[in-house]
Amino acid sequence: MTEPVTVWAPQAQRVEISLPTGRVPMVAGDGGWWSTPEPVAPGTDYLLHLDGGPGLPDPRSPWQPEGVHGPSRTFDAAAYPWADDGWAGRSSLGAVVYELHVGTFTPEGTLDAAIGRLDHLVDLGVDMVELMPVAAFPGEFGWGYDGVALYAVHAPYGGPEALQRFVDAAHARGLAVCLDVVHNHLGPSGNYLGQFGPYFTERHHTPWGAAVNLDGDDAGPVRRFVIDNALRWLRDFHVDALRLDAVHALIDDSERHLLAELSEAVAELEREVGRPLSLIAESDLNDARMVTPTAEGGLGMTAQWDDDVHHALHARLTGERHGYYVSFGTTETLRQALSEVFVHAGTYSEFRGTEWGAPVPADVDARRFVVFSQDHDQVGNRAIGDRPALDDGGLAVSAALVLLGPYTPMLFMGEEWGARTPFQYFTDHSEPELAQAIREGRTAEFASHGWEDVYGEDVEVPDPQARSTFEASKLDWDEAHEPRHARLLEFYRDLVRLRHTEADLASGVRADTGVTAPEDGGWLAMYRGAIAVVVNLDEEPREIPVRGQVRELILGWTGEASVAGDVLTLPGRDVAVLRC
């Protein structure tokens, strides 16, 4: 489909477009919009010029084949021959989600190569694949959270049609696709938005600088830029869900918050396409208003990430107490996280130095909270990007509590076989000053987080700009076939199968889940209807009283658990799943 190129540049007196045939004046329209006098064919490279200035990439560029500083390329999203007409969609609620980074998921680091590993996810029992950001970012490799061409698909990953092929292939296997998108800031290199219009404001600030302009008198087209971006992925790329990065940094004091407006726009598209579409917020606020319907005064998100469950689980199993783990680490804290959603729910947060969060109303569906024992942040933002330093029993305990709990579980790539490869922070900026600033900033950040308590005084933070840091973070798929890793992988498969086949484990009714623990904190039992998940957190065997009569020992990690009446004998660092 051939269409004109349009751009919002309200402060420009003249806008031109450079095409292969030469520079052409664009036509001014209402509200600061400009368009080409004629449609531009798909596959055409172009640059935009404001008031005779240098050529700039299009803020809504669908493709940056030569990188974020190069020309944009038109793309006909409607030309792809979709084969997913029979795809009915899948809500994120209760789905087993699998987060992956395209660049390190396979040796090739492309979307097409990732298709070749989808059958592994099907065999594991995954319902939804979550891609870390694919919007175009500087250089070849990076996490994607410094994207600057938010409508484009990173060229080294394969460009826009590769994303369509990936989604089509996932749907053919019964897998939904969630895309991680970043609207709260742009990266420092290749960010040309401010030259086109008032996309940013000094009225608000975020950790990345001036905030996106969402509530000024001139914010309407900026809000539209964000909403159109979200709708594009869901409509033109058939994506099923979006994970919205750090929504607490979308600062909006207007009468109608951007997220509420986005929620209603997605609901309208959902009715149009006839399949479920989900919005999953990463929020640091610990406030269920995020997932409360807009009709009830909420922001209307389908779900939100719940870091408190991760912190409670990680701190209890590893013993780490530095940084934001300072308020966590007891079995009681873990019990609270598994039954009450948040640990900080209007209570004092030692890390923040203030009261934080709010209690979650009892009638809120527990599946609206996404939980995990590993994710890109909690691994990659460690000093050396290492995964949890747990024995296999600790990994099994962690997996059982996440996968069989009341929330929506998410796995991080390689977790299912106990991958030993790290996931480190890596960037590929060409500007020497920026590269050095990132190196120094990363080192300074870790110096303030108490990592010496974990690694010792001589810990060396990997150089984010080194290609070796990126290469070290690639999964080693051969590991999954080694006996120790294969055993853990099979246990994960068993847990996921239980979640899919046991109705009690699919329930999001919080009243259906009860969690108990003794005063000494040595074990924990999570009851989900007739299913009990019992974990021994100690190193030594424990005799654990079970609520009700045990009818069946369904699954265990060591296979050495035994039941006598209502007493379960469980080896150290072990887990058993019972039917009572």
Indicate whether 387 belongs to any domain: no
Contact 266, 293 (CB under 8 A): no
Tokens found for residue 11: 């402060």
Contact 197, 11 (CB under 8 A): yes
Indicate whether 353 belongs to any domain: no
Would you call 296 a catalytic residue per the annotation? no
Cβ neighbours, 10 Å, residue 573: 22
CATH code of the domain covering residue 529: 2.60.40.1180
DSSP E strands: which ranges in 2-158?
6-8, 15-19, 22-25, 27-28, 33-35, 45-50, 72-73, 97-100, 128-131, 135-136, 149-153
- Out of 44, 79, 114, pick the residue that ends a domain: 79
Indicate whether 226 belongs to any domain: no
Would you call 245 a catalytic residue per the annotation? yes
Distance CA 117, CA 130 (A): 14
pLDDT of residue 449: 65
Contact 59, 152 (CB under 8 A): no
Indicate whether 459 belongs to any domain: no
Tokens found for residue 525: 């039992």
Indicate whether 23 belongs to any domain: yes
Give the residue numbers spanning the domain of 29: 6-79
- Out of 79, 98, 126, pick the residue that ends a domain: 79
Summarised one tens digit per residue, pLDDT across range 227-243 is 999 999 999 999 999 99
296 Cβ contact partners less than 8 Å away, ≥ 6 residues apart: none
Cβ neighbours, 10 Å, residue 456: 8
pTM of the complete model: 0.97
Contact 528, 535 (CB under 8 A): no
- Out of 61, 79, 97, pick the residue that ends a domain: 79
Reported confidence tier of residue 145, pLDDT bands at 50, 70, 90: very high
Strand partners, 205: 210
- pLDDT surpassing 70 at residue 448: no
Summarised one tens digit per residue, pLDDT across range 472-500 is 999 999 999 999 999 999 999 999 999 99
CATH code of the domain covering residue 68: 2.60.40.10
Indicate whether 562 belongs to any domain: yes
Reported confidence tier of residue 3, pLDDT bands at 50, 70, 90: very high
Summarised one tens digit per residue, pLDDT across range 65-97 is 999 999 999 999 999 999 999 999 999 999 999
Q: Check 161, 215, 282, 415 and give the catalytic one.
A: 282
Helix (H/G/I), strand (E/B), else coil: 532: strand
Indicate whether 253 belongs to any domain: no
Q: Check 146, 168, 245, 320 and give the catalytic one.
A: 245
Number of domains in the chain: 2
Indicate whether 571 belongs to any domain: yes
Query: From residue 165, how far is each of 73, 84, 117, 137 by CA, in Å?
Result: 19, 11, 14, 21
